[in-house]
């Protein structure tokens, strides 16, 4: 029902032998195509294209107004506290987490960060070399082990600076019980960061008021995964943190007063947004938030759940398909399914789907290598051999991930193509060597 809202969904792409076919995009966990109205908003904004805050011209005032008023829309969308100075625009989720890790290093100097074994590298690597990082385990089902979380919280206690956790995994789609985790985290006096990159585009998220024990202290996400452009993302957090340290990037816009030997930093959010900001990206993000809100995240969630269940059922009927974490009863996940075809490397399956049917998927470890290693029980010996470059072909999955505009018919095309691959496996292995 949402297909007509999204740009480029009827694109034809060349497949084998130059034949043109409709492109099927099952790689929405990487990036979603933009809403048509987001594209139009960008064109529209070009009328007001002007650098913000510093100009006195009409256009500069108009674009400043667009930029400044946007923060309220962002906060409303995620149930954030009404302090709009605490929305900081960044490039993407990765930059948001790096930024916060720099602030934390500045404020605390050290301590423990509790991350998890199911994080995207972007919510793991920025914390390393700045803090002691420990990882909450996953259980046999690939979900976060909440007993281990409690064990680690009570072990590290006051030295924990932050629990940093993904709202939903970009590998399995599993959602984490973020409010339950927030409650536990706060009980131990720590704060919680939710990586919302995979959650915000698919499910309603509520940061809840500061006074609630289930409050989410920090939330980060990227616009390009929610039908808006690349190059714009959000970091939301408490004023107390953002005010406590000098900016990590310094320069134009971050200061109130400068002499050769004195700097007085600007107030929030300017202090944290060095340089000329991405006003056009912000205008487009607000447009996408307006569309998502007017449809209702609950409605989108429900539709994508149906797509995911339908795909899980279709694929589970195909022999030789190893479907991971799709068939569980408690369907508490976003629209992602990892799978493999027995006897084919994930990269081969992905190439065949693209070359033979115009189906775009992602394959590999999806920037979450520790999680994939655990899910696939990759041995330490194998990892050692990879370090030394002896083994080349990475273990991993083929990942299909749906957006709100995908259709059941597209899933039927995928299922048909997978059946064809399975029944002609030997031929495909020869045609698509590793």
| Residues within the interface to ligand PMP (CB under 6 A) | 29, 92-94, 120, 122-123, 166, 170, 195, 197-198, 222, 367
Residue among 124 and 148 whose Cβ is closer to ligand PMP: 124
Quote the least distance from Cβ 10 to ligand PMP, whole Å.
26
At residue 369, φ and ψ (nearest 5 deg) are: -60, -45
Task: Report the Cα 98 to chain-centroid distance in Å.
Answer: 14
Residue among 195 and 272 whose Cβ is closer to ligand PMP: 195
Quote the least distance from Cβ 72 to ligand PMP, whole Å.
23
- Give the whole-angstrom CA distance, residue 341 versus residue 320: 6
Quote the least distance from Cβ 433 to ligand PMP, whole Å.
29
Residue among 35 and 265 whose Cβ is closer to ligand PMP: 35
Quote the least distance from Cβ 224 to ligand PMP, whole Å.
6
Residue among 321 and 365 whose Cβ is closer to ligand PMP: 365
Quote the least distance from Cβ 139 to ligand PMP, whole Å.
19
Residue among 305 and 362 whose Cβ is closer to ligand PMP: 362
Quote the least distance from Cβ 198 to ligand PMP, whole Å.
5
Residue among 181 and 418 whose Cβ is closer to ligand PMP: 181
Quote the least distance from Cβ 335 to ligand PMP, whole Å.
13
Quote the least distance from Cβ 244 to ligand PMP, whole Å.
24
User: Secondary structure of the chain in the HEC alphabet?
Assistant: CCHHHECCCCCEEECHHHCEEECEECECCCCCCCEHHHHHHHHHHHHHCCCCCCCCCHHHHHHHHHHHHHHHHHHHHHCCCCCHHHEEEECCHHHHHHHHHHHHHHHHCCCEEEEECCCCHHHCHHHCCCCEEEEECECCCCCECHHHHHHHHHHHHHHEEEEEEECECCCCCEECCHHHHHHHHHHCCCEEEEECCCCCCCCCCCCCCCCCCCCCCEEEEEHHHCCCCCCCEEEECCHHHHHCCCCCCCCCCCEEEEECCEEEECCCCHHHCCCCCCHHHHHHHHHHHHHHHHHCHHHHHHHHHHHHHHHHHHHHCCCCEEECCCCCCCCCECCEEEEEECCCCHHHHHHHHHHHHCEECEEECCCCHHHHHHHCCCCHHHHHHHHCCCCCCCCCEEEEECCCCCCHHHHHHHHHHHHHHHHCHHHHHHHCCC
- Give the whole-angstrom CA distance, residue 348 versus residue 354: 10
Residue among 94 and 348 whose Cβ is closer to ligand PMP: 94
Residue among 70 and 92 whose Cβ is closer to ligand PMP: 92
Quote the least distance from Cβ 15 to ligand PMP, whole Å.
26
Residue among 29 and 88 whose Cβ is closer to ligand PMP: 29
């Amino acid at each position: 029902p949402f297909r007509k809202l999204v740009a480029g969904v009827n694109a034809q792409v060349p497949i084998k032998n130059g034949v043109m076919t409709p492109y099927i995009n099952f790689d929405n966990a990487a990036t979603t195509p933009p809403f048509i109205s987001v594209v139009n908003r960008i064109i529209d904004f070009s009328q007001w294209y002007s650098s913000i805050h510093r100009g006195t011209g009409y256009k500069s005032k108009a674009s400043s107004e667009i930029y400044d008023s946007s923060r309220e829309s962002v906060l409303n969308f995620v149930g954030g506290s009404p302090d709009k100075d605490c929305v900081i625009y960044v490039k993407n989720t990765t930059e948001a987490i790096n930024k916060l890790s720099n602030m934390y290093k500045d404020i605390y100097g050290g301590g423990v960060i509790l991350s998890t074994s199911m994080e995207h590298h972007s919510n793991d690597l920025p914390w390393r070399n700045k803090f002691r990082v420990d990882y909450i385990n996953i259980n046999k089902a690939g979900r976060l082990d909440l007993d281990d979380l409690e064990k680690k919280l009570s072990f590290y206690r006051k030295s924990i600076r932050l629990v940093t956790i993904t709202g939903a995994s970009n590998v399995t789609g599993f959602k984490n019980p973020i409010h339950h985790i927030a409650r536990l985290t706060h009980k131990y006096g720590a704060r919680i960061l939710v990586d919302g990159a995979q959650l915000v585009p698919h499910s309603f998220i509520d940061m809840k008021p500061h006074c609630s024990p289930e409050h989410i202290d920090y939330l980060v996400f990227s616009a390009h995964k929610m039908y808006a452009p690349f190059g714009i993302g959000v970091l939301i957090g408490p004023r107390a943190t953002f005010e406590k340290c000098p900016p990590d990037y310094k320069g134009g816009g971050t200061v109130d007063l400068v002499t050769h030997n004195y700097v007085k930093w600007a107030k929030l959010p300017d202090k944290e947004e060095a340089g000329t900001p991405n006003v056009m990206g912000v205008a487009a993000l607000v447009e996408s938030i307006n569309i998502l809100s007017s449809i209702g995240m609950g409605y989108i969630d429900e539709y994508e759940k149906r797509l995911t269940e339908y795909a899980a059922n279709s694929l589970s009927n195909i022999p030789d398909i190893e479907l991971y974490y799709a068939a569980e009863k408690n369907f508490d996940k976003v629209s992602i399914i990892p799978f493999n075809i027995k006897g084919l490397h994930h990269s081969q399956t992905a190439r065949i789907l693209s070359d033979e049917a115009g189906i775009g998927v992602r394959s590999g470890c999806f920037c979450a290598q520790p999680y994939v290693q655990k899910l696939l029980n990759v041995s330490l010996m194998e990892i050692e051999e990879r370090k030394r470059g002896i083994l080349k072909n990475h273990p991993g999955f083929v990942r299909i991930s749906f957006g709100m505009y995908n259709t059941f018919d597209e899933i039927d095309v995928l299922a048909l193509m997978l059946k064809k691959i399975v029944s002609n496996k030997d031929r495909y292995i020869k045609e698509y060597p590793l």
